[in-house]
Structure formats: C-alpha cells, structure tokens
Amino acid sequence: MSCDLVARIKDALRVVIDPELGANIVDLGFVYDISVADGAVRITMTATTPGCPASGFLKEGVARSASQVPGIQTVDVLMTFEPAWDPSMMSAEAKTSLGFAPVH
C-alpha cells in the first residue's frame, strides 16, 4: 500500500513546474525522498541552488499537490541542499527537453 501511495504522490508532484527551467520537479530530480506513515507524508526535496528565489513557491506547490492525494492527512516538506542538485539528476526526458546532449 505504501509503495502505491508514494507513486501516487510522486505523480501528483509532476504538476509542480520549476518556473526557471519550465519542467516538473520530479523529472528535474528535485524530489529526493517521499515517506508515508499513517496518512502523514514527508517529502525531502531541493531546488537548483540554495538561494533559488523559487524555493518557497516550489515548497508550497509540493505541499498543496501532495495534500490532494487521497489518504494523505498531513504534509511536511523538507528543503535540503545536501546533496547539491546538478543536471545529472534529471530524467532522460527532462534532459532532452532542456537540450542537454546525451553522454555516451
């Protein structure tokens, strides 16, 4: 059940778009961890840089989107910069859409 709920939360977070990069935070690799216990979800995430002006916007979007998932009563979003985000954390689709050349 928990794995299915984590997958539903992850899908819900795809609506949160980084305004700087124009892609969703899941494909960008901003979501480091999602844990669920008794209707409470804790999401550990990052942004491109510690001083990113969109951090608050992203954190609010994550909390709002996760709280819409059936079965979730509370949402705690932890913003971290350890490890620091870098483009290698993006999905292949995000890299392609943002113009990153594949590395062979």
**Cβ atoms within 10 Å of 55's Cβ, excluding its own:** 17
What is the residue whose two structure tokens read 């935070």? 25
Spatial separation of the C-alpha atoms in residues 58 and 28, rounded to whole Å: 12
pLDDT value, residue 52: 87
CATH of region 2-85: 3.30.300.130
User: Has residue 104 got a pLDDT over 60?
Assistant: no
Predicted confidence (pLDDT) per residue in 19-74, tens digit: 989 999 999 999 999 999 999 999 999 999 998 889 999 999 999 999 999 999 99
